[in-house]
Chain A
């Protein structure tokens, strides 16, 4: 399919997800449709016990299951989760790099904040033992490019590779950049995604002291409640998500299975404040309009919006203003996964894209968990509440992802 820009889309041929609520995109989608929550109180033996009230935990992964034992000792869990997600995505795509695709035509784009949890641990060790506390493996274990680099090393990918560091917009932006690379003819296949490990005290306290975390909920599973009147902050989650994007002709020629297509993307910046969104949501609206134009789609063709919706007061209200402005009288059904998954930071855009594709294909769009009483500022949206909404033949979905700093990314997807 061609967009208004004359540029082709990209085919999603594999998905690998690590995070709360399931080990595969099917499990995640089914859990969301069943209204389950991945948010819990931290286990008593976790570093966050007593630090936060609620968080969303991914499955345990033994680092030596994805890395040589000697390299598995000092490596951030973010990198470990990214490697597992990449393994799953590549296997899901039935792709062997070097056999099915030229290694030099295989690109890797993985976003995220980097290995700040391990950096924090090593800083503590440095304070105690001086330089002897620091491992020579520190840098390959924490640098923000290392998820992409280690995926490239594992699979022998030798084309373009990079890391996107736009906070909570990073995963969606990686997918957008992947589309750009394929359109430019610089690769046949791109492994795109994001990984985040924010569940350690220094980082969580950063959110907590900024008063961005949900608090005061007796049941942790109710703490994240996007667009709800009583929402009072986000719930941090950990995870990784990788999708395999391919040039349509390439995917067709090798007979790859398709989850759907990324048709276009839009990027804008608020240029306003380090953490707060523009209250009028104009930056977010710009990203959505650019994505629609890039995809060659009209607003009324969109049958689902997978919102950024983090459950913060200011963020959800600004996004609501933006969506109302972009879609006018034709408000598409909208929901946020974060009521159930918590906020996986940059990874959330990858989860949103994956779930949106499944929602379009299976004809059921998941509801926002804990949306009991819509905030009046959000009430004019067509909010999906309580139970999944039939997709009614919807063909296009729009995914939003907005990051601290004012980075706004929107993706337009087709089943």
Chain B
């Protein structure tokens, strides 16, 4: 069964909690990077690795560079796309 963007969002919020990130700064329509949640580059890297492990997907380096400009929702949508590709 295909994974939904909402499920990924829930996983992302859980992961950020485990990572001791302050969730008050995280909004679904805010960006992950400097213009929004302003997550540290290593926090973002760890979040991506956690999502990659959970859903058996891989983001490209080009995508990683743009990650900070994505909103939480856009990031989850991108993960859904990757997951569909991975499942063939």
Contacts and interface: CB of A to CB of B under 8 A. Distances in A.
A70 B49 contact: no
A126 interface: no
A273 interface: no
Contacts, number: 24
Interface in A74-123: none
Nearest to B52: A132
Contacts of B49: 131-132, 136
Contacts of B20: 64, 69-70, 72-73
B42 A140 contact: yes
Query: What's the interface size class on A, roughly?
Result: 10 to 19
Contacts of A73: 19-20
Interface in B3-37: 19-21
Contacts of B21: 70
Q: Which of B19, B42, B52 has the most CB of A within 10 A?
A: B42
B86 interface: no
Nearest to B41: A136
B53 interface: yes
Q: What's the dominant secondary structure at chain A's contact region?
A: helix
A309 B40 CA distance: 46
A402 to B, nearest CB: 38
A135 B45 CA distance: 9
Contact of B53 (A69, A129, A136, A137): A129
B83 to A, nearest CB: 16
Give the interface centre of A72, A73, A140 by most chain B CB atoms within 10 Å: A73
A135 B53 contact: no
A135 B49 CA distance: 9
A64 B19 CA distance: 12
B45 A70 contact: no
16 contacts: A64-B20, A69-B20, A70-B19, A70-B21, A70-B40, A72-B20, A73-B19, A73-B20, A131-B49, A132-B49, A132-B50, A132-B52, A135-B46, A136-B42, A136-B46, A136-B49
Contacts of B19: 70, 73
A64 B20 CA distance: 10
B52 A137 contact: no
Nearest to A132: B53
Nearest to B54: A132
A282 B85 CA distance: 68
A67 B53 CA distance: 27
A139 to B, nearest CB: 9
A73 B45 CA distance: 15
Given A132-B50, A136-B46, 18 more contacts: A64-B20, A70-B19, A70-B20, A70-B40, A70-B43, A72-B20, A73-B19, A73-B20, A129-B53, A131-B49, A132-B49, A132-B52, A132-B53, A135-B46, A136-B42, A136-B49, A137-B42, A140-B42
Contacts of B50: 132
Contacts of A132: 49-50, 52-53
Nearest to B53: A132
Nearest to A68: B20
Nearest to A130: B53
Contacts of A70: 19-21, 40, 43
